[in-house]
Amino acid sequence: MNYTTQMDAAKKGIITEEMKIVAKKENMDVELLRKGIARGKIVIPANKNHKSLNPEGIGEGLKTKINVNLGISRDCPNVDKELEKVKVAIDMNAEAIMDLSSFGKTEEFRRRLIDFSPAIIGTVPVYDAVGFYDKELKDITSKEFLDVARKHAEDGVDFVTVHAGINRKTAEVFKENKRVTNIVSRGGSLLYAWMELNDKENPFYEYFDELLDICEEYDLTLSLGDSLRPGSIEDGTDSSQIEELIVLGELTKRAWERNVQVMIEGPGHIAINEIEANVLLEKKLCYGAPFYVLGPIVTDIAPGYDHITSAIGGAIAASAGADFLCYVTPAEHLRLPDLEDMKEGIIATKIAAHSGDIGKGISNAREWDLKMSHARRKLDWEEMFELAIDDERPRKYRKESTPEFKDSCTMCGKMCSVRNMNRIMEGKDINILRSDD
């Protein structure tokens, strides 16, 4: 039986090869996975032209996945340098890479990335449009925006972020309800500016059916971008954000009618006590489509440390039901992240994702922690390093500060509670002051 997309196959009762791989990774019954995809609650972004892909599932009942943003820009146009970062991100088991390239050899970078990457690849076509056509934003036509999306699909991109929810109506809501930080989404601001400069409707909204034609042809997953996401906690959960979310829910239903897989992008900067409500709103208004959160960043006062502010928000969001976390690095709001920034961001986001999986009861999530707890009780340093989400830093710390006694560290020495409890439980003496026998 033939099928066009993973969702089309799922609705027809077909188990695809990608479904089998994902089910095995998730330790999940493949039939349950298929039903989740058929209902739109799970996506497997897998463009037919991405031949090196090792597929991953995103959505209800699955482990929380993470995305890493990379790409070249006018100030940092070195393709090879950015591809080195991609390779490290893949080695660190990032499930997705978003190519946010906006200047220079964007097509070369994208094609080389897709050629070797087993990770899911996403892009934002509107970023590429200005450079691709070598035109000012105002002069790009509606058709040209869609043609860039088609070009990315042909190249093998697995999902595209499209800011289709900011239409003339939502733009009016934004104008009538003043914000502290206006529109902070790069793609959203570009499309809003294009609409204002040309006095026209958002092309991705007006020609959404044509966009779905492209998605159906290549099994391109839509990540419906949140143009009006809050850029400060003061703007969080406001009328502009919610109005756009309602539109994204309507577009989700239209996409599902065409068997196109959909994710919904979410905030942004959100106060910690509003995160759970935001997840609930997305799941309600967008009919359970997988939720892809950008952070969320829970306080605005920590430039240089936003990998921490976002990890706090990401853990809470994931535990409340968010499915996909976009990493944030220490360089957020400041510069293009370098290699070390990227590594810090990946580790912080992976910690948040795993913490969220424990909170929402993902199968086997706690087993990893239990193994670490046993290793700590045994004071088995090598096993602790092997189990660590990143073994490089703990090995470095242990090496830099060597204790006198191997069954301790330089913080507590022979007063180590674990060491002494082990000895007491084994019926041995505790020799804190005396030399070892």
374 annotated ligand binder? no
The alpha carbon dihedral of 8, 45, 22, 354 has a sign of negative
Report which DSSP code applies to 234: G
187 annotated ligand binder? yes
| Residue 264 near residue 281 (C-beta atoms within 8 A) | no
Residues 219 and 260: their CA atoms lie apart, in Å, by 7
373 annotated ligand binder? no
127 annotated ligand binder? yes
412 annotated ligand binder? yes
185 annotated ligand binder? yes
Distances from the Cα of 170 to the Cα of 164, 211, 215, 294, angstroms = 11, 20, 24, 21
Residues 433 and 405: their CA atoms lie apart, in Å, by 13
Please name the residues in contact with 9: beta carbons below 8 A apart, sequence gap of 6 or more.
3, 15, 16, 19, 37
Report phi then psi at 292, rounded to 5: -110, 105
Distances from the Cα of 343 to the Cα of 83, 87, 298, 358, 389, angstroms = 14, 12, 21, 23, 12
| Nearest C-alpha neighbor of 215 from the set 347, 91, 340, 48 | 48
227 annotated ligand binder? yes
226 annotated ligand binder? yes
409 annotated ligand binder? yes
34 annotated ligand binder? no
**Strand spans (E) along 137-235:** 159-162, 221-224
Q: Angle at CA 59, nearest 5°, toward 58 and 64? A: 65
Residues 339 and 15: their CA atoms lie apart, in Å, by 39
3-state secondary structure of 229: coil
Placement of tokens 């143009």 in the chain: 227
Angle of helix 168-176 relative to helix 186-198, nearest 10 degrees, comes to 100
Report phi then psi at 356, rounded to 5: -65, -40
| Nearest C-alpha neighbor of 226 from the set 156, 177, 278, 176 | 278
333 annotated ligand binder? yes
Please name the residues in contact with 382: beta carbons below 8 A apart, sequence gap of 6 or more.
none
Binding residues for substrate are 69, 98, 127, 163, 185-187, 226-229, 265, 292
Annotated binding site for [4Fe-4S] cluster: 409, 412, 416
Annotated binding residues for Zn(2+), as ranges? Answer: 269, 333
For the annotated binding site, the residues are 69, 98, 127, 163, 185-187, 226-229, 265, 269, 292, 333, 409, 412, 416
